[in-house]
């Protein structure tokens, strides 16, 4: 039986460590602070931001939730970011994506001070990551490394194949794995004979944003699979393609009308040596690493 890598348990351990760091900083009169910026009323974004604010409260991190209407302009948002950059009690700035079409997302992310860029999206922090210098790394890729390391999965000398080349997950995950001495191949939707590449992977990171894209025949027996995907399935025919015969999932689908599936077909996990489930794998690590980055930013800004 393949080993399930429990992201919930690993995230809880990290949050405990972060809480200890927050208490230590409090002894020096320092309280890390996170500003969360939410635009409009997208239900999923509201849920994500609320969970981040709740995590701050549970760990003793100061948080400031700032909302702006759907009609906000780029200029107004840039003014807001400038004000947050200037606030000394704010160590991290989180801009919840996606933003409305009229807002220049790239300009906004570039306006965040690199010292407060707890999402690790700023070009300065991306460059530091590429160069292997201490920086604020994107939360999901950093969480992937934590899962592997804390689960005792070897990285050095292993062939890691990353499927997906986004600036948020694929590219930084590849760089982090490379810095930990893996041999890394980056693949994407235009890769020729993708299965021939993925079948070489000792560590397979699926981050392409397509439900069940990685199938059983694409997996090397015994590989470690890190499934970053989070795709909501509402179509009964599509549900049957992934979960036919799974009584537990069928009951959940009947009750809620939807179910989550990753970028890896559930049957493919049977071929793995270890894997992250969806949900309960990589997802919980993203918030845990955001909290860790906020404390890290607080320390770095004060030269600690």
Res. 44: pLDDT tops 90: no
* CA-to-CA separations, 237 to 217, 232, 276, in angstroms, rounded: 22, 13, 25
Rounded Cα distance, 174 and 168, in Å: 11
Q: How confident is the model at residue 113 (pLDDT cuts 50, 70, 90)?
A: very high
Rounded Cα distance, 166 and 209, in Å: 10
The mean pLDDT of 29-45, rounded to a whole number, is: 93
Of the residues 119, 202, 227, 263, which is catalytic?
119
- Answer yes or no: 52 catalytic: yes
Which DSSP string corresponds to 120-145? --SHHHHHHHHHT-S----HHHHHHH
What order of strands is seen across the sheet that includes strand 183-187?
Answer: 3-4, 274-275, 224-227, 203-206, 159-163, 183-187
Strand (E) or helix (H) holding 237: helix 236-243
Spell 181-196 as b/e; 16+ CB within 10 A means b. Answer: ebebbbbeeebeebee
* Global pTM exceeds 0.75: yes
Quick: pLDDT tens for 209-241.
999 999 999 999 999 999 999 999 999 999 999
pLDDT for 178 equals: 98
Work out the burial of residue 138: count CB atoms within 10 Å of its CB; fewer than 13 is exposed, 13-18 middle, 19 or more buried. Answer: buried
Q: Which domains does the chain have, with CATH numbers?
A: 29-118 (3.40.50.10860), 139-284 (3.40.50.720)
Of the residues 15, 91, 96, 116, which is catalytic?
96
Res. 65: pLDDT tops 90: yes
- Answer yes or no: 299 catalytic: no
- Answer yes or no: 119 catalytic: yes
Quick: pLDDT tens for 118-165.
999 999 999 999 999 988 999 999 999 999 999 999 999 999 999 999
Res. 295: pLDDT tops 90: yes
pLDDT for 272 equals: 98
């Amino acid at each position: 039986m393949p080993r399930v890598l429990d992201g919930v348990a690993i995230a809880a351990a990290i949050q405990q460590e972060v809480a200890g760091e927050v208490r230590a900083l409090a002894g020096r009169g320092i309280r890390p602070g996170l500003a969360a910026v939410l635009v409009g009323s997208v239900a999923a974004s509201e849920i994500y931001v609320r969970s981040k604010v709740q995590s701050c409260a549970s760990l003793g991190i100061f948080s400031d939730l700032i909302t702006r209407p759907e009609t906000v302009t780029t200029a107004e948002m840039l003014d807001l970011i400038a004000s947050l950059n200037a606030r000394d009690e704010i160590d991290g700035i989180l801009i919840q994506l996606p933003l409305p079409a009229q807002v220049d997302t790239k300009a906004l992310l570039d306006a965040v001070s690199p010292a407060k860029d707890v999402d690790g999206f700023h070009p300065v922090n991306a460059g530091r990551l590429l160069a292997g210098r201490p920086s604020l790394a994107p939360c999901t890729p950093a969480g992937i490394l934590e899962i592997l390391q804390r689960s005792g999965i070897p990285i050095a000398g292993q062939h890691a194949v990353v499927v997906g080349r986004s600036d948020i997950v694929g590219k930084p995950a590849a760089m982090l794995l490379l810095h930990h001495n893996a041999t890394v191949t980056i693949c994407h939707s235009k890769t020729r004979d993708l299965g021939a590449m993925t079948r070489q992977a000792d560590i397979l990171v699926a981050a392409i944003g397509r439900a069940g894209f990685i199938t059983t025949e694409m997996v090397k027996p015994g590989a470690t699979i890190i499934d970053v995907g989070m795709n909501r399935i509402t179509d009964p025919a599509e549900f049957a393609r992934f979960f036919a015969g799974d009584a537990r999932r069928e009951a959940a689908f009947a009750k809620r009308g939807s179910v989550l599936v990753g970028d890896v077909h559930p049957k493919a996990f049977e071929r793995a040596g270890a894997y992250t489930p969806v949900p309960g794998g990589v997802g919980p690590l993203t918030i845990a690493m955001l909290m860790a980055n906020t404390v890290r930013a607080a320390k770095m800004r004060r030269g600690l």
